Structure 1
Amino acid sequence: MKKNTKVLLGGCTIILAILILLIAATPGASGTEIAIHEVIANPEKYEERYVTTEGFLIENSIDWRADEIELRFDIVDSDGNVLSVFHHGVRPDNFSEGVITIIEGFIEPGEPFRAERVKTKCPSKYEGEDPNDYDPEFHKELLNDK
């Protein structure tokens, strides 16, 4: 075999190996984002698929077992659909009533949603104030006090 052919075959092999590793290492890339009512209505449709959904945390449903690193809780959507969740892993920060909870994992019919990742966000805490309520005089007073 010629040297150019060997280099070309070696380069193609390396690129193919990298692509296979990237696909295998990112299960979320092949996941599906669905609403809670879809999870409840058609669990068989999404069985064995990596899915993402979100809802508001119901605080009195939290069952945190630190010794076993297990977390069980319920989330609810704006229509009142409730989904029970099981997560084997650490409890997220900011885990309190009304926080938006994003879960990623697998559905098993008749079982709680098996979350591999649990994230929280609280948009009201991080949103800016309404620009129409801006008071330039108050801002000037703050700058003059320094």
Structure 2
Amino acid sequence: MKKNTKVILAGSLIFMSILVLLITATPTSSGAEVPINHLNENGKEYEERYITTEGFLIENSVVWNADAIELQFDIQDEEGHKLSVYYHGVQPDNFSDDVIVIVHGYVTSDGIFEADKVQTRCPSVYEGEDPEDYDPDIHREMDRQLNIDDD
């Protein structure tokens, strides 16, 4: 076999290997984002499909089994539609009231959302300041103080 033929075959083999890895790894990351009320109304439609949804944690619904590393909880949207979630994994640190929970996983035949990934975010932390309340003098003073401290 010629050297060019070997290089082309090796390059093709590497390319095909990468392509197969990408195809097998991406189905779990390409799920649809579905609101809770739509899941409740059309749960059968989403069985066996990887989806993402989010809602506010209902704190008194949290059941944590540290021995089995199992977490069960309910989330609800702004209209009050609820979804029960089961997660086999570590409980997030800031798992408390007024936290938004983002879950990725599958809906089972009994209507439970089986999550394989759970994320949290606090809505108040991510809200921006009102631009009308911006005071440039405060920032100038802070900058001046920082420059004085550095000298």
Do they fold alike, i.e. is TM over 0.5? yes
Cα shift readout 1:20-65 (whole Å, capped 9, x = no counterpart): 1122223333311111112111122111111111111111111111
Any stretches of 5+ residues in structure 2 without a counterpart? Answer: 147-151
Which residue of 1 is the match for residue 56 of structure 2?
A: 56
Alpha-carbon shift at residue 92 of structure 1 (Å): 0.9
**Paired residues, what number?**
146
More displaced stretch, 24-33 vs 135-144: 135-144
Relative to structure 1, the CA distance from residue 2 to residue 138 in structure 2 (aligned partners, 3 Å threshold; closer, same or farther) is closer
Which residue of 1 is the match for residue 3 of structure 2?
A: 3
Letter in 1 for 2:50: Y
Alpha-carbon shift at residue 80 of structure 1 (Å): 1.3
Alpha-carbon shift at residue 137 of structure 1 (Å): 5.2
- Give the 3-state SS of the residue equivalent to 1:104 in structure 2: strand
Relative to structure 1, the CA distance from residue 97 to residue 9 in structure 2 (aligned partners, 3 Å threshold; closer, same or farther) is same
Alpha-carbon shift at residue 72 of structure 1 (Å): 0.4
Which residue of 1 is the match for residue 98 of structure 2?
A: 98
More displaced stretch, 33-42 vs 135-144: 135-144
TM-score by length of 1: 0.87
Which residue of 2 is the match for residue 128 of structure 1?
A: 128
More displaced stretch, 70-79 vs 103-112: 103-112
Which portions of structure 1, spanning 4 or more consecutive aligned residues, are displaced by more than 3 angstroms? 135-146
- Give the 3-state SS of the residue equivalent to 1:17 in structure 2: helix
Any stretches of 5+ residues in structure 1 without a counterpart? Answer: none
- Give the 3-state SS of the residue equivalent to 2:11 in structure 1: helix
Relative to structure 1, the CA distance from residue 2 to residue 97 in structure 2 (aligned partners, 3 Å threshold; closer, same or farther) is same
Alpha-carbon shift at residue 126 of structure 1 (Å): 3.1
For the aligned residue pairs, the C-alpha RMSD in angstroms reads 2.0
Letter in 1 for 2:18: I
- Give the 3-state SS of the residue equivalent to 2:52 in structure 1: strand
Letter in 1 for 2:64: W
Query: Mapping of 1:1-146 within 5 angstroms?
Result: 1-136=1-136, 138=138
More displaced stretch, 26-35 vs 59-68: 26-35
- Give the 3-state SS of the residue equivalent to 2:125 in structure 1: helix
User: What percentage of residue pairs aligned between the two structures are identical?
Assistant: 57
Relative to structure 1, the CA distance from residue 90 to residue 2 in structure 2 (aligned partners, 3 Å threshold; closer, same or farther) is same
